[in-house]
Amino acid sequence: MLKPILTEEQLAQISFWLKNCSHFVLCAHISPDGDAIGSCLGLASFLRGLGKEVTVVMPNHFPEFLHWMKGTDEILLADRDTEQVELAFQEAEVVCCLDFNDLGRIEELGEIARKSHADFWLIDHHLDPGDFCKVTVSYPLMSSTCELVFRIIYQLGGFGCMTKEAAEAIYCGMCTDTGGFTYNSNNSEIFLIISLLLQKGIDKDLIYRKIYNNYSVDRIHLMGFVLYEKLQVLEDFHASFFTLERKELKHFHFTKGDAEGLVNIPLTIKGMKLSISLREDTEKDRILVSLRSVDDFPCNKMAEEFFNGGGHKNAAGGRLDCDMEEAISITKKAIYTYEYLLVDKK
């Protein structure tokens, strides 16, 4: 029913691992999002169902609104549980890298991973995968890594045994990576997958509320502040950006996840093509950049060119090691450089 995505060769290697290996480590990218957590928990559940020892590792902590998924309390954080994580990577026979495609994207955890003697298995949907894995399942056109995990489990014949909790985790990542199925989600097979997940008894409306209707009063106030006080709109360019400094975040008692989705809001302005957020990191001395666009505007190219980052066409990110004033001038330069794609042709 669903088109298979693993080649015969990949299938043979994966089947070998499933038959002969017992220790698996699953990890995803820094500042994990719904797709990172969901894809790891979905695959972990499948592997545990086969009797495997599975350790799920994230480079650092993830927002509160993702903690409802079953298994999140067992996730190790490399910056907190470093010794346990090092041990898990030493014992691992297979390391699965989900929702990232370059060890640079997991920062310090990359050093631990490089020391491991395990075989590496990549499952990801970002462009230009690095060549560091024995099996590379890379599909940049797929909605999410969760969609890939579902397809892999399905192709391996594991759908029948999928638990409701695993189905919820997979649905969560598909939902968050597509903005609740409002972008990057026109492939009809996505809805076939959703229909199969619903057969597992998931409540997709409840999951939506757990993800999107779960904010603190502080976060709503932060949102109002950003939109009223901080948003700069370059109308002719159909572009906008806003900045958030550490002292402003502190004023609104910022916690991880509070900035989630803010960058999407300016795209609800009629005709807006590009939205950029510049936020001072509360952990390191740097500015975190998020880019969102509609249609064909390539956020990933702009992120690579100006913000030391990358990502997808309509959603990308990056980092700047400078002060906010310089970050603003880089942002304006980036927007002016892409004038030919942003400004209406006369």
Q: Which long-range contacts (CB under 8 A, 24 or more apart) does 129-134 make?
A: 129/101, 129/102, 130/101, 130/102, 130/103, 132/102, 132/103, 133/97, 134/13
Q: How far is CA 48 from the centre of its chain?
A: 23
- Give the nearest residue (CB) to Mn ion: 35
With CB under 6 A as the contact rule, which of the stretches 52-60, 187-195, 234-242, 315-323 interacts with ligand 5GP? 315-323
Kindly state whether residue 177 participates in binding Mn ion, applying the rule CB under 5 A.
Answer: yes
CB-based contact 54:44 (threshold 8 Å) = yes
Q: How far apart are alpha carbons 196 and 319 in whole angstroms?
A: 38
Residue with tokens 């928990």: 41
Site for Mn ion in 100-159 (CB under 5 A): 145
Residue 343 has which token pair? 């400004």
Distance in angstroms between the alpha carbons of the first and the last residue of the chain: 48
- Per-residue contact string for residues 85-104; x = within reach of Mn ion by CB under 5 A: --------------x-----
Kindly state whether residue 310 participates in binding ligand 5GP, applying the rule CB under 6 A.
Answer: yes
Q: How far apart are alpha carbons 131 and 111 in whole angstroms?
A: 16
Kindly state whether residue 298 participates in binding ligand 5GP, applying the rule CB under 6 A.
Answer: no
With CB under 6 A as the contact rule, which of the stretches 2-10, 158-166, 216-224, 303-311 interacts with ligand 5GP? 303-311
Among the listed residues 293, 266, 289, 267, the one whose alpha carbon sits nearest the alpha carbon of residue 278:
289
Q: How far is the CB of 136 from Mn ion (least distance, A)?
A: 16
CB-based contact 109:82 (threshold 8 Å) = no
Q: How many residues bind ligand 5GP (CB under 6 A)?
A: 12
Task: Give the three-state DSSP class for 98.
Answer: strand
In the list ligand 5GP, Mn ion, none, the entry touching 290 (Cβ below 5 to 8 angstroms by class) is ligand 5GP
Query: Closer CB to ligand 5GP, residue 45 or residue 143?
Result: 143
Q: How far is the CB of 318 from ligand 5GP (least distance, A)?
A: 5
- Per-residue contact string for residues 126-145; x = within reach of ligand 5GP by CB under 6 A: x-------------------
Kindly state whether residue 35 participates in binding Mn ion, applying the rule CB under 5 A.
Answer: yes
With CB under 6 A as the contact rule, which of the stretches 85-93, 164-172, 196-204, 310-318 interacts with ligand 5GP? 310-318
Site for ligand 5GP in 166-195 (CB under 6 A): none
Q: How far is the CB of 212 from ligand 5GP (least distance, A)?
A: 15
Q: What's the Cα-to-Cα distance from 239 to each of 86, 267, 287, rounded to whole Å?
A: 44, 9, 20
Q: Strand (E) positions, 201-286?
A: 232-234, 239-244, 274-280
Q: Which chain residues interact with ligand 5GP by CB under 6 A?
A: 29, 105, 126, 290, 309-312, 315-318
Q: Which chain residues interact with Mn ion by CB under 5 A?
A: 35, 99, 145, 177
